[in-house]
Amino acid sequence: MVFMVIILLVVTLFVAVRIYALKKEVKKLTLQLHQYNQRQTNQKLEMDLFDRDLEELGMEVNKLIDLYIAEQQKHIRFANEQKQLIANMSHDLRTPLTSTIGYLQMAQNEHMTSKERVELLNIAVRQARRLETLLNDFFELSLIESADYHLSREQVHLNSLVIEVLIRFYDRFQEKGMEPTVHIPEQAIFIVANESAVIRVVENLLANAITHADGNIVINLEERDETVRLTVTNDAFSLTETDVQHMFDRFYMADKARSGKSTGLGLSIVKSLMKKMDGTITGRLNNGQLSIVCTWKRFYD
């Protein structure tokens, strides 16, 4: 009998101590969660690891915290990108706008022959057109990048599409005295993509090559297992690795002189379109040769 009572007492004591420890631990966790919910800390839960079940609870709560932080970070990143974008935008619009105003002010000058005035106005119009292109590109890019912009997928016959675009660029190649080398296989290549988006991609890549190429341009189309690759290669001796790393960034222009008609948005548009079509695009610099490679999924019947 006495023996029984002692055993009972020991068991009761053991249970009481355990309950006390568990309660203490729960209180500690509650306090930590409270501080977390008050946004006083981003610290994850810490605990004395003596109970498996409680440890698992802690682990799951920490996963929840991870999720929250990832979401919060996404918001912060998005807000920062927007801020950066607007800053870049006003920055890139201001310089051409200022000089346009300058030309118009000069044209207002009364002591000026009409020939001089026409010349100044022509420059101002050219500058204003550039601003217009910039705004259009910018608008297009914002549209493509918005989350609810979807491209329909269809079967696209890539050989004929590339050739059609090349023919349209014939004059511009001529103007620059360029003769592009084109490798397009005989057999028909079909990809899963959006036709008008692919046209835009090819156009922008060619326009980019024509503007920046120091020498000749090579266009290569090939099939590789599941994918189809379109490669546009051109000489670019003045380009650096850093340029290639950043060339898909908005407003990035390798030649800081910003001569010509480029807006620094063409390749960003290409990249966004490729992303929306689940394709990939990469740039590589090899012995002064820039290759931009686009890959799409092949179409199977």
State in angstroms the smallest separation of the CB of 61 from another protein. Answer: 8
For 98, the token pair is 């200022």
Report how far residue 235's alpha carbon sits from residue 68's, in angstroms, rounded to the nearest whole number: 47
Give the long-range contacts of residues 236-240, CB within 8 A, separation 24 or more.
236/212, 236/285, 236/288, 236/289, 236/290, 237/288, 238/214, 239/212, 239/285, 239/288, 239/290, 240/285
CB of 259 to another protein, least distance (A): 7
Query: Which residues contribute to the site for another protein (CB under 8 A)?
Result: 39-49, 54-59, 62, 66, 69-70, 72-73, 76-77, 90-91, 94-95, 98-99, 101-103, 105-106, 256-259
To the nearest whole angstrom, how small is the minimum distance from the Cβ of residue 241 to another protein? Answer: 12
**Joined tokens for residue 276:** 């929306």
Of the pair 7, 49, the CB lying nearest another protein is at: 49
21 or 184: whose CB is closer to another protein? 21
Least distance in angstroms from the C-beta of 181 to another protein: 33
Which of residues 152 and 259 has its CB atom nearest to another protein in the complex? 259
Of the candidates 281, 282, 265, the residue with the CA atom closest to the CA atom of residue 144: 265
Nearer to another protein, 124 or 205 (CB): 124
**Closer CB to another protein, residue 62 or residue 160?**
62
- Please report how close the Cβ of residue 214 comes to another protein at its closest, in angstroms: 19
Please, what is the Cα angle at 96 between 93 and 101, to 5 degrees?
Answer: 115
